[in-house]
Amino acid sequence: MVDRHRTIPRRISLTNTIFEGNNNVYLLDGERTILVDTGVSVPAIREELADGLAAYGVSYADIDEIFLTHWHYDHAGLAGEIQAESSATVYVHEADAALVAGDRTAIDAESTLKRQRFDEWSIPEDARRELEQYLSTAMEIGGQAVDVTPITDGDTFERNGGTLEAVHLPGHAAGLTAYAFEGETGREAFVGDVILPRYTPNVGGADVRVERPLETYLRSLERFIELDFERAWPGHRAPIDDPSSRAATIIAHHRDRTERVISVLEDQGPADVWTVSAHLFGSLSGIHILHGPGEAYAHLDHVRAAGIVTETDGVYALSQSNPSIESLFPSIDQ
């Protein structure tokens, strides 16, 4: 009889409020001491994570490896500091590797692209100033540069008697990667921000490098549902016991949002991204000044690619009346 190894993650829930809040760090204990994600690089959270690890008899210096789900600062922020103390190997998908490594060219390119989007999305001057302020503060929680080891879809890692398998599920971020493993309930995965229990992960604004963001994300959700995990360990908040149905709910939510975007254009006539965003989300502050129009853009782009709207100089107009959007979304009956 084969005794199958089952990985049982230890979840350390942090109390940060920035971005989606309450980031999770997962500890895999055994021959090698492994973390999945880290947390924002601020003193209080650095200490909180150290305390959380100490409860399992682990210190930063003990960490052998860190598997990052994506480059966002609330997931990758502390990787550099932990690596400095432990010489841990830090893995992240190749699409996000340069950003985590602190590569100037990559960081500047992302920053330039973001500002280009602010123009394309017609973000007004005052909102833009507030967003710039927020972004410069956010840069400070990004932490130290990391010596990264890039990974790609399908890479497997035999660790502590089990296997971690990288599953690239881009959308929210270009390099977003889940790590699948054999867990207590069967096939499980660390999913980062692929699906979250409470919010729908931002698409369009959270990583402006993603081309055709909603389309990309929907393909990832479709693949995620096919993988049929028994349990997902998200980047924020509690484990998700029925991950496929959560993914299906998120797909349905995006279909509803696309319908709303179309009705805004029906009611208002041609509109820019900022105007559509205001109809969807009202007035915005902080990071939402990026995420709101980003999300509106992702939906407008999705229907533009299908020929339902046209775009001229940042203004979107319906080119069909009563368009059908059903075929633009994976069928989710299960």
Residues that bind Zn ion (CB under 5 A): 20, 72, 193, 235
**Least Å from the CB of residue 200 to Zn ion:** 12
Q: What is the DSSP letter of 25?
A: E
The residue (of 20 and 215) whose beta carbon lies closer to Zn ion is: 20
**Least Å from the CB of residue 111 to Zn ion:** 17
**Least Å from the CB of residue 56 to Zn ion:** 23
* Secondary structure of residue 171 in the 3-state scheme: coil
The residue (of 240 and 308) whose beta carbon lies closer to Zn ion is: 240
Whether the CB-CB separation of 41 and 141 falls below 8 Å is answered with yes
**Least Å from the CB of residue 23 to Zn ion:** 6
The residue (of 40 and 123) whose beta carbon lies closer to Zn ion is: 40
CA distance 198 to 238: 9
The residue (of 20 and 301) whose beta carbon lies closer to Zn ion is: 20
**Least Å from the CB of residue 71 to Zn ion:** 8
- Among candidate residues 94, 63, 67, the one with its CA nearest the CA of residue 81: 63
**Least Å from the CB of residue 139 to Zn ion:** 16
Q: What is the DSSP letter of 249?
A: H
Tell me whether residue 211 is exposed, middle or buried, using C-beta atoms within 10 angstroms of its C-beta: 0 to 12, 13 to 18, 19 or more.
Answer: exposed
**Least Å from the CB of residue 298 to Zn ion:** 15
The residue (of 96 and 215) whose beta carbon lies closer to Zn ion is: 96
Q: Looking at beta carbons, which residue is closest to Zn ion?
A: 72
Whether the CB-CB separation of 248 and 225 falls below 8 Å is answered with yes
Tell me whether residue 192 is exposed, middle or buried, using C-beta atoms within 10 angstroms of its C-beta: 0 to 12, 13 to 18, 19 or more.
Answer: buried
Half-sphere exposure of 316 (CA within 13 A, CB side): 30
| The pair of three-digit structure tokens given for residue 200, joined into one six-digit string | 């729908």
CA distance 173 to 110: 12
Q: What is the DSSP letter of 60?
A: G
The residue (of 159 and 254) whose beta carbon lies closer to Zn ion is: 254
The residue (of 94 and 182) whose beta carbon lies closer to Zn ion is: 94
